Amino acid sequence: TRKHKVTVVGSGNWGSTIAKIVAENAKEHSHIFEEQVQMWVYEEDITLTKDSPYYDANLEGKSQKLTDIINTHHENVKYLPNIKLPSNLIANPSVEDAVRDSSILIFNLPHQFIGRISKQLQGHILPYARGISCIKGVNVTASEISLFSEWIGEGLGIYCGALSGANIANEIAAEKWSETTIAYDPPNVDSRVPSPISGSPMGSHVNLTVTDTDAPHKDVLGRVSKIKLKALPEEYPPLDHLTFKTLFHRPYFHVRVVDDVAGVSLGGALKNIVALAAGFVEGRGWGDNAKAAVMRVGLLEMVKFGQEFFGQTVRPGTFTEESAGVADLITSCSGGRNFRCAKMAIERGVSVEEVEKTELNGQKLQGTSTAKEVSDFLTCKGKVNDYPLFKAVIDILEGRNTVDDIPNLLSRNVDN
């Protein structure tokens, strides 16, 4: 039998944290996964200062490659400082090389960069690989909207699920308990024959055998998917809910696996718009009641958006019952970067982009671009006024409204 090779595409704050998790599990479950996990790093030159534990006086003033620092010291000093990464996690500056022979691809980078990387990967991945997207955002082109999981899948010709939840990376990297949701619902290109894999701590597995490699299947909008899926060769352990749970579940990171890829992906994307609104009202000094009002209206708009545009498959319960829904909304409106930057922007009277540049040391906000993309899409559909909170956020970001306008702008949803 062959083992699954795992590659994490991305190495930011969350990318490095997820890479830590899967490398720990790959080592612990080495009967299923190759022990060495690859992590693609967008290469940067880093000059370590005297306060760094890795400072070397011989290199004073000289820069080093971020990948070299990670592979030598097992720490991503720029995006996840003070967290030890497992030594079986290998930082690789070449994305084509990092994904070579990998049957599991985990996409985890800011959504603005996935387009270029996805193009770069074409022709370099195993045709039967499967993906999980940890990206929080939606892909909008003119009047079309799609999920990144789906868009990555179509671009690469593979099936891609999604992982999203109440997951502030720094807390998870410090191994503080949290939960997450994985959505994985591939078409039935593989038939299953019972064949328990011994030694799996998560219970018994079933093997997959090839049946129909080009079976047509439905996408999240119920359309016939453009992807011609290739079945996983039978010498691999199956790529099913149990295997993904085994790859991601840690004592400090509890996983629930569901089928609703659209609900999980939309929850992660849309809550970032609401988190900006929460930051605006907190920055204005209005306190917890105003923040709770914004969260309530925001959750309603998230559910409405899902039903209106992904109604074929989205399950409203995903927004209200899963970590990827309401729990992510709560944590993001409490300590997320979108929330914190929006709050600081109002307090300082500067733009959110300016705070992002000065405060985040290269980390990227997803809410500002998602607010614009969702607004463009809703405008195109003639529905922008049906989503007053989403509209208020983009209008505040672009200077057409101020935070003081929020009570009026939301009055239809707040007052009787």
Query: Which parts of this chain interact with ligand NAD (CB under 6 A)?
Result: 10-15, 42, 79, 108-111, 113, 134-137, 167-169, 362-364, 366
Nearer of residues 126 and 324 to ligand NAD, judged by Cβ? 324
Residues that bind ligand 13P (CB under 6 A): 136, 166-168, 272, 275, 328, 331-332, 336-338, 366
| Rounded distance between C-alpha atoms, residue 214 and residue 230, angstroms | 7
Q: Which residues of 253-273 are buried (b: 16+ CB within 10 A; e: fewer)?
A: bebbbbbbbbbbbbbbbbbbb
- Left, alpha or beta for 142 (phi > 0: left; psi -120 to 50: alpha)? left
Catalytic residue among 271, 291, 343, 391: 271
Any idea which residue has 């939960």 for tokens?
179
CB of 367 to ligand 13P, least distance (A): 6
CB of 147 to ligand NAD, least distance (A): 12
Two tokens, residue 330: 């709560």
Asked if 295 and 330 touch (Cβ cutoff 8 Å), the reply is yes
Nearer of residues 13 and 102 to ligand NAD, judged by Cβ? 13
Nearer of residues 70 and 104 to ligand NAD, judged by Cβ? 70
| List of residues 6+ apart from 396 with CB closer than 8 A | 280, 402, 403, 405, 406
- Pick one of ligand 13P, ligand NAD, none as the site partner of residue 275 (Cβ within 5 to 8 A by kind): ligand 13P
> Residue 230 has what DSSP assignment?
P
- Pick one of ligand 13P, ligand NAD, none as the site partner of residue 53 (Cβ within 5 to 8 A by kind): none
CB of 400 to ligand NAD, least distance (A): 26
228: three-class secondary structure by DSSP? coil
What is the longest distance spanned by two Cα atoms in the chain?
Answer: 69
CB of 331 to ligand 13P, least distance (A): 5
CB of 136 to ligand 13P, least distance (A): 5
Nearer of residues 150 and 356 to ligand 13P, judged by Cβ? 356
- Pick one of ligand 13P, ligand NAD, none as the site partner of residue 313 (Cβ within 5 to 8 A by kind): none
Nearer of residues 14 and 128 to ligand NAD, judged by Cβ? 14
- Pick one of ligand NAD, ligand 13P, none as the site partner of residue 108 (Cβ within 5 to 8 A by kind): ligand NAD
Asked about 271 being catalytic, the answer comes back as: yes
Instruction: List strands edge to edge, sheet with 130-133.
Output: 89-92, 37-40, 6-9, 104-107, 130-133, 159-164, 178-183, 253-258
**Cα four-point dihedral sign 217, 245, 114, 329:** positive
Active site members: 271
